[in-house]
A and B are shown apart, each in its own frame.
Chain A
């Protein structure tokens, strides 16, 4: 496996702040999985925060400097693809990329802002890790499975930022299948639940935990109603809202029963027999 990996392309890997902080499990499991599958992920040296939440202001290019600087650095190191694990980083990088690319004047202006960097020409493809896995193909994933998930009923939760706006969607934004395909390849049984594309409340968790708890309650209950035993996600913020806010849910809805929540990569690591790696961090 590792030998084969040598032939594959090196891919720039942008972790983002949260993966080095509360979402360590996402990173460790993903990197383990990537290595096993021969995906050559190289963490960008001296990366900076992408800024979180793509800035929607048309009149303030300064807010795009952080994500574009990252892309520019990847480009000057000779990468053509950059990948992220976190949905928020993915959304921010991709939207920023499209936003500056869509207007040559904008691109020029932002390059002037980032004097210290090499000019960014829009040559980097921003891909979420899920897309890389999907491109790798089902067969490759199946080959790597050591412990088949034996029909584990998984609710794949996409949330917002992998699918919307449409210009950055990694799959159909109403009924995505990309995570389902992956789960099937692991031997799990993905269950469709309509709330899989509904927002969890996002950053409101910092000021309105009760709103987020209400959102999370509906999402988790909907997954349960449709037969899910576990909910998987790729977003550390969704993960926090769906998992850590369960205690707040309990305060509002006393009958609420806990639901397992996990990163999709953790499930992969389990199926690939990489649990050890995970435990050791």
Chain B
């Protein structure tokens, strides 16, 4: 065996604490080590080249690199030794930076000793390493996208245009998400529907996109490469093949309820289409409000009115099973409930509204036909107060983060309000104006310079009703005066929070979330669109508050990740996976019980006794090692981290050797194997 050890200075990061020269000297004396050296930056090109040269010159068959965390450069060094002709698993990284020099800055001697032990352990472990080959598993090159907002639509189109099949699942009756509700969009003020609806139609018509609206993902099994997904489609009670979208049914429906799409500011019938350009353009009966129940039919108005006979009261929910290789999460956001802000009378006063409600009031296809009218009495508000950070950046309300988009949409609201009500006054309360985006600052400056729009720096403490006015108590901290404004309407920029149901979805997919429930990315800077759960990608506001350009960029980024995954026919997985030794396996099944990924199944042997044995599905196995700990026979082991390797590591660190193995018969007959370790 010929092991080479390479110790990195990492500039002064390691060398400033650990005595490198002494370390090299001591390491050289270790068993099997034929060469030991040090380098300023091993991860640099010359550093890697040095490793490769030494491998060739000294005919090394294994390598130990003592440097930073393997999370940082493990892959870099593995690739380097592979290029030099070694199997990439015949390397061990001793982390002497994060686990040594950084945490023992003032303890040079002890740090040097610890570094030596870590290297010694790595040498002992790598001596037992075996060459490993990647595990190839089948890859279903189809993708599931959950959420049909602008992010989901964008990701779907990109992947579909790349030539792969897409299942787009949307829980409401139409795709489009919140963007469909917006009037005009900052900073260009282009009409939201005008730019979105062509995309919606394109998605629906795309031959590679299977669109499931009014549907939810019910179950997901499996891992990257092959997920089995169950989609539940709620009954619309209208046959989408027959419905022409004429709307004759809604004309005659006697039930009127608030329209969710208009934030409840307008009405719709029990049979409805959320908005005229909805995709698919199919009507839906909302059974909760329809006079009929699942058991009893008392009204047939719509059925009678429907020319193509599309209505079917007997439709039931449908389950669809699909198989995909990757999943994009794009379930977007909700606004934080306005009722949480009691000091502003949220939920109490009808004219204290949220931003999306204001969008609907501005929108020419909205409930007021684009005339801004206040909900309480339909009057045109002549003085509107906008309150930014109404709940955001507010740890007391459990929302410490900045919602990022509200500075911009509030500026937009103030301007569009002035366009709609030229003699009206707009007051904006802000703590900071965050306008870091292309042309954003220019837009905000334009708004601030508009006659009739006043920006006041400070927060509002209280809003209350006086006759038919809303009294706003605020402050302008720049001038140092507390102010009172008698307003006709108050618009709150509420926090953006993950949409309802996202938490459960993330749990089902085992995809981690942050403390607010937004999906977590694996690396905030370098891998911002991937979940740490391999095969799950993030697009749009599901990850953090985002405006449309950011949501779309991220959706395209997620799509490109999926496309690069799909560029292979098979999925090459790291071979760090459980392996069963059939000689030792007694078929007790403990491993299958503890496996969190369901990767182990118990099979029957073909011999006469038909004894059982464990079999590992390599695609499902994540190499966590739970089985290894559970197996009493040491019959199942994770490659690259086998028990002999781990023991060798421990003995090396403890400077000990197993001296005796006692086998006691315990009551009940279980063997209890105890390895006694004595210091030398």
Contacts and interface: CB of A to CB of B under 8 A. Distances in A.
B169 to A, nearest CB: 40
B343 A174 contact: yes
B606 to A, nearest CB: 67
B342 A172 contact: yes
Contacts of A194: 462, 464-466, 471
B571 to A, nearest CB: 53
Nearest to A174: B342
Given A172-B342, A174-B342, A174-B343, A225 B466 contact: yes
Contacts of B348: 175
Interface in A174-198: 174-175, 194
Interface string B451-486: 000000000001011110001000000000000000
A225 B462 CA distance: 18
Contacts of B465: 194
A174 B344 CA distance: 9
A175 B462 contact: no
Nearest to B342: A174
Nearest to B463: A194
Interface in A217-248: 225
Contacts of A175: 342, 348
Nearest to A175: B342
Interface string B228-264: 0000000000000000000000000000000000000
A194 B343 CA distance: 10
A225 B471 CA distance: 14
A194 B348 CA distance: 12
B446 to A, nearest CB: 36
A175 B462 CA distance: 11
B59 to A, nearest CB: 67
A223 to B, nearest CB: 13
Nearest to B348: A175
Interface string A150-178: 00000000000000000000001011000
Contacts of B343: 174
A218 B467 CA distance: 15
A175 B342 CA distance: 7
A175 B348 CA distance: 10
A174 B397 CA distance: 14
Most B CB within 10 A of own CB, among A172, A174, A225? A174
Contacts of A174: 342-343
A225 B342 CA distance: 21
A225 B466 CA distance: 8
Contacts of A172: 342
A225 B467 CA distance: 8
Interface in B16-67: none
A174 B464 CA distance: 11
Interface in A67-122: none
B347 to A, nearest CB: 10
Nearest to A195: B464
A215 to B, nearest CB: 14
Contacts of B464: 194
A235 B467 CA distance: 29
Interface in B333-354: 342-343, 348
12 contacts: A172-B342, A174-B342, A174-B343, A175-B342, A175-B348, A194-B462, A194-B464, A194-B465, A194-B466, A194-B471, A225-B466, A225-B467
Given A172-B342, A175-B348, 10 more contacts: A174-B342, A174-B343, A175-B342, A194-B462, A194-B464, A194-B465, A194-B466, A194-B471, A225-B466, A225-B467
Name the 9 nearest CB pairs between A and B, nearest first.
A194-B464, A174-B342, A174-B343, A175-B342, A172-B342, A225-B466, A175-B348, A194-B465, A194-B462
